[in-house]
Structure 1
Amino acid sequence: MIDSIIIENNNETIFDKDPDIAEIDECGTQDFYTSFIHRSFNGWYKEQIFDNFKIGYGVLNGADKRRIRFNSNQETIGMIFILEGSLSMNINTPLYTNHFETNEHNIFHYTSAKDAIEITDNTVSIVRINFTVNFFNQFLPEDHKFENFRKQIKLHKTRTLEKQNAQISPKMHLIIDNILNSKRKGFYRKINMNALVFELLLLQLDTFNQGTQKEAHICDTKKIIKIKEFLDHSFTQPMTLEFLCKKFGTNEFALKKGFKATFGNTVFGYISDLKMHKARNLLIENNISIGDVSEIIGYKNAQHFSTAFKKKFGLTPSKFISCNQKDI
């Protein structure tokens, strides 16, 4: 685990503490959770430590232009994914810097994990998966593409696999989402995480083997994510693919393929799911008519709404209200 996390401002140490929560399950997996709150920023960092790797995930809000130091006395290989924000990673011994923007990834070899992160955005979300060097070396291909990285590892030099970071592909996003949101416990979690982590490593190595300039996806993932975020707040409004393409600078083919690959649903399927869950919550929490609910979520025809609701939940809205009142 990380020995300490230190946040500095003008050389003043603001935060340095041990994890708030530490747990061990029946198969020896360790879970650590650290939160930190300051008058101008807040954040948290989670770690899951398995036999051959550990998964870390953290979010920091309001820490623009601050430095964070993670101290650990282990030589390690780290898979780095920046889900949101931008930062520069400065490895102190020896000095080595790599700048990351949103939706970029790379693989680091740390001679020690005494690294400093320079935050250059208000909110940063990062995923780190670390292996021991000996374990990772078993899975580093003999391809010529990885020869220099292998040499740097043998010489105990801190380096990234490639100088230029690569874009996180839609398939990588799905795997990362499964890793971070898995509900499995004990040995089932251990099996699941091993499968997901190695699939993610395979995709990383395959991406760098092909070259960082080649996109592993059809539509730029940043645009797809922004479209999804827009829909989350505007799903009750009339929507067309043409409108979304013009607004976010893409084309219909790329939008359809990219959205389905990233989120496992079509654009309109996703909008429909948002509407139905909103309708269900309105019917449960408010004394409101079915016609009003239909209008609120953007249906002009209440019968069309009832048909869509039954298709999603197996009950008409009126039957759903009746069953819910009986439960109360």
Structure 2
Amino acid sequence: MTIYGKLLTQEEIIQVAYPVITTDFEGLTESAGLPFKDYVVKNFRIDDKIASDIELSVSENVVLMQFCVDGTFTFKNSDSKKTFSFGNGQCNIIYLPKGNYGITSFLSEINLISVYLSQDFFFRQIQQVNPAFMIKSTNLFQALFSKNISITHRLKNILNEIVNCEFDGHLKILYLKAKVIELLILQLAQHEEEKTISLKPEDIEKMTIIKDLIETNFNEVYSLSYLAKVAGTNEQYLKKHFKILFGNTVFGYMLACKMEKAKEMLSTGKHQITEVSEIVGYKHATHFTTAFKKFFGYLPSLVKRSL
């Protein structure tokens, strides 16, 4: 069983290895001896199918932007027993009063990115962005959104940029702070958009069919007319409702699936760039390289060199 995490702060990136599943972080303010100023970002992964708990203690009131990139889990308050559940590709903003918490129900491989914001930092940003988004009470374990929202590819890209930040010193401080605020803004904007249009269960089912088809056939380029027939609807309906539900256009989602799969394959070190380009549906490696750089902001060769 392998469990590992990455802790990012304004000052530095520290790799942390956890030899056991039950871990007490002894408070965010004391974690790894780092000062908790405005925010702390933690990337936590488990690569085995297990079922156990992770214990977390926070020594001051904080706000958590929780992203479940892969897997499913439940976040619980150890005192009140209240829980919030996250599915694959979901996120929410949760207020954590001082106390003890647990992450439980690991049923699959899991990849969590947790952005802990100080109470003062959160309220400063939230008042500037939208004063209507305020925590009801500062002593309750509560979520800002009544239901989790989807992690769009735009959100996922920002999370990747945070975890893989290559800046040092003051540039890193500015870069990470900007990205954390961008994450907050995008979640608030996405929540507002999803509130204005409510999809029926049958609409969600149709769009999910298309999403699953794209994800399992990432090397294909489907036409809108074909996908509309698969979903049993028309092209305009498909374009509008797919973007509402998943925060991306149909073609944008196709591209994102190709690029994410390509990056995953390159990161293993087992595949050449030309091989990967063919697998994800590109006839010419140069076209793939151009698309990859435009999507991630760096060349695919950088992924291989970083290994």
TM-score normalised to the size of structure 2?
A: 0.63
Q: Deviations along 1:229-266, whole A, 9 cap, x unmatched?
A: 643xxx4xx76558994999697857896365458x48
1:198 corresponds, among 156, 172, 181, to 181
Residue 31 of structure 1 corresponds to: 13
Letter in 1 for 2:69: L
Q: Aligned in 2, Cα 1:131/1:312: closer, same or farther, shift over 3 Å? A: closer
Letter in 2 for 1:32: I
Q: Deviations along 1:181-212, whole A, 9 cap, x unmatched?
A: 22222222221111111111011222334455
Residue 69 of structure 1 corresponds to: 55
Assess if the C-alpha contact under 8 Å between 1:21 and 1:32 holds in 2: yes
Assess if the C-alpha contact under 8 Å between 2:22 and 2:53 holds in 1: no
Amino-acid identity (%) = 14
Residue 8 of structure 1 corresponds to: none
Bigger Cα Rg: 1
Question: Are 1:170 and 2:153 matched, yes or no?
Answer: yes
Letter in 2 for 1:70: L
Q: Aligned in 2, Cα 1:244/1:74: closer, same or farther, shift over 3 Å? A: farther
* Segment of structure 1 superposing worse, 78-87 or 248-257: 248-257
Structure 1, unaligned stretches of length 5 or more? 1-13, 284-292, 299-303, 315-328
Assess if the C-alpha contact under 8 Å between 2:278 and 2:285 holds in 1: no
Q: Aligned in 2, Cα 1:246/1:129: closer, same or farther, shift over 3 Å? A: same
Residue 296 of structure 2 corresponds to: none
Assess if the C-alpha contact under 8 Å between 1:169 and 1:221 holds in 2: no
CA distance in 2, matches of 1:120, 1:20: 16
Assess if the C-alpha contact under 8 Å between 1:224 and 1:258 holds in 2: no
Greater strand proportion = 1
Question: Are 1:97 and 2:83 matched, yes or no?
Answer: yes
Q: Aligned in 2, Cα 1:222/1:49: closer, same or farther, shift over 3 Å? A: farther
Assess if the C-alpha contact under 8 Å between 1:29 and 1:51 holds in 2: no
SS at match of 1:152: coil
Shift of 1:34: 2.1
Q: Aligned in 2, Cα 1:67/1:23: closer, same or farther, shift over 3 Å? A: closer
Q: Aligned in 2, Cα 1:57/1:159: closer, same or farther, shift over 3 Å? A: same
Q: Deviations along 1:38-89, whole A, 9 cap, x unmatched?
A: 6xx899x999977411111111122533111112312101101111111111
Residue 214 of structure 2 corresponds to: 227
1:58 corresponds, among 38, 44, 58, to 44
2:103 corresponds, among 106, 110, 117, to 117
Residue 146 of structure 1 corresponds to: 133
CA distance in 1, matches of 2:230, 2:185: 31
Letter in 2 for 1:115: Y
Correspondences of 1:1-328 after superposition (within 5 Å): 29-37=11-19, 51-112=37-98, 114-141=100-127, 145-147=132-134, 149=135, 151-153=136-138, 156-211=139-194, 214=197, 224=211, 227-228=214-215, 230-231=217-218, 235=219, 240-241=222-223, 245=227, 258=249, 261=252, 265=255, 281=272, 297=278, 308-309=284-285
Q: Aligned in 2, Cα 1:199/1:226: closer, same or farther, shift over 3 Å? A: farther
CA distance in 2, matches of 1:56, 1:222: 32
Q: Aligned in 2, Cα 1:187/1:70: closer, same or farther, shift over 3 Å? A: same
SS at match of 1:138: helix
TM-score normalised to the size of structure 1?
A: 0.59
Assess if the C-alpha contact under 8 Å between 1:145 and 1:209 holds in 2: no
Q: In the comparison of the two structures, how many residue pairs are matched? A: 259
SS at match of 2:137: helix
Q: Deviations along 1:258-314, whole A, 9 cap, x unmatched?
A: 365458x4888x69x89xx99x9388xxxxxxxxx8xx948xxxxx96xx4566779
CA distance in 1, matches of 2:112, 2:6: 20
Report the RMSD for the aligned CA atoms in angstroms: 5.0
Shift of 1:168: 1.9
